[in-house]
Chain A
Amino acid sequence: MLQENTALIPDMIKQIPLVNYVLLASILFVIGIVGVLIRRNALIIFMSIELMLNAVNLLLVAFSAYNSDPNGQVFVFFIMAVAAAEVAVGLAIIVMIYRNIRSIDIGLLNKLRG
């Protein structure tokens, strides 16, 4: 029984330590953060945020797979659903702004300064 079960465990989980996945997800997350900070194009900032959410997904799947606990994977569904909703609203806001100022460079929006 034990032998059978062991044989079914994916090679990835047996050979690659969890740390590697945590590191990969963290680097991906950090790349997303850097993207948000250095870019001024609203669409690309938004894509960087998607990158951050995907890093979280990878982290959750890795934890969930290594602990063989499905709860983490269900959470990933919710993140995907929320990301879809956010994208719909965010792109509507971007289109609305483009209608008014003909650009999506957030540096051009500086009406509000104290």
Chain B
Amino acid sequence: MDILGLLKNMTITHWSFYIVSMLTLFGALGTIMSKNPIHSVIYLILTFFSLSAHYIMLNAQFLAAVNIIVYAGAIMVLFLFVVMFLNLREENEELPKNSILIAASIVGGIIGITLIAAIRQTQIEKVNPYSFNTKTGLVETLGSLLFNKYLLPFELVSVLFLIAMAGAVMLGKREKGERHF
């Protein structure tokens, strides 16, 4: 196989896909490998930004923005807040050998299955230029869908938030006689 020839034929789109993908995976690996939780958080934010780049390239601009606002903006700040709050330092935890074995076998299995499935799928999937709707990822389309078809689930998410709110306040509250920290 001529790798050099392959590289020469790659367009800018290919390059951007592969570079952003590498960034995504690099961030993901950093998240699970780093010892310091703060580094993990920062790697995870890198992953979120590169995922947003993917969403933009896939024409899902609104989701890209929401991804940064919600994930990188709100969820990761919450994580960072807890890391700082608990004042966690580097822990010298050792990776147990057994679980690595289990993990490796599961990982191998899933990757194998997914690979086969994905390769089989390639022949079927083709973008149809006649029926392709280029406005799929725009706020207009998503908004009208969210408030018509998905109105009930949208309203019921509020129940979930109420549970989370009441639960988090209740669990995090300091009771009488508990030490301060």
Contact = CB atoms under 8 A, between A and B. Distances in A.
B3 to A, nearest CB: 17
Contacts of B131: 68
A109 interface: no
Contact of A19 (B54, B88, B110, B119): B119
Interface residues of A, number: 80
A113 B181 CA distance: 30
B132 A9 contact: yes
A24 B164 contact: no
B24 A24 contact: yes
Given A37-B106, A39-B32, A89 B13 contact: no
B145 A70 contact: yes
Contacts of A23: 114-115, 118
B5 interface: no
Contacts of B21: 20, 24
Contacts of B122: 17-19
B157 A82 contact: yes
B171 to A, nearest CB: 4
Interface in B136-151: 136-137, 141-142, 145-146, 149-150
B102 interface: yes
B107 interface: yes
A92 B171 contact: yes
Most-contacted residue by chain A among B44, B136, B141 (CB, 10 A): B136
B58 A99 contact: no
Nearest to B81: A91
Contacts of A20: 17, 21
Interface string B150-181: 10010001001101110111011010001101
Interface string B71-82: 100110011001
A61 B55 contact: yes
B111 interface: yes
A58 B31 CA distance: 18
Contact of A68 (B51, B134, B157, B169): B134
B15 to A, nearest CB: 11
Given A33-B110, A43-B82, A61-B60, 16 more contacts: A8-B134, A22-B114, A26-B110, A26-B111, A30-B110, A33-B103, A44-B32, A48-B32, A61-B58, A68-B131, A70-B136, A73-B63, A77-B142, A91-B78, A91-B168, A92-B171
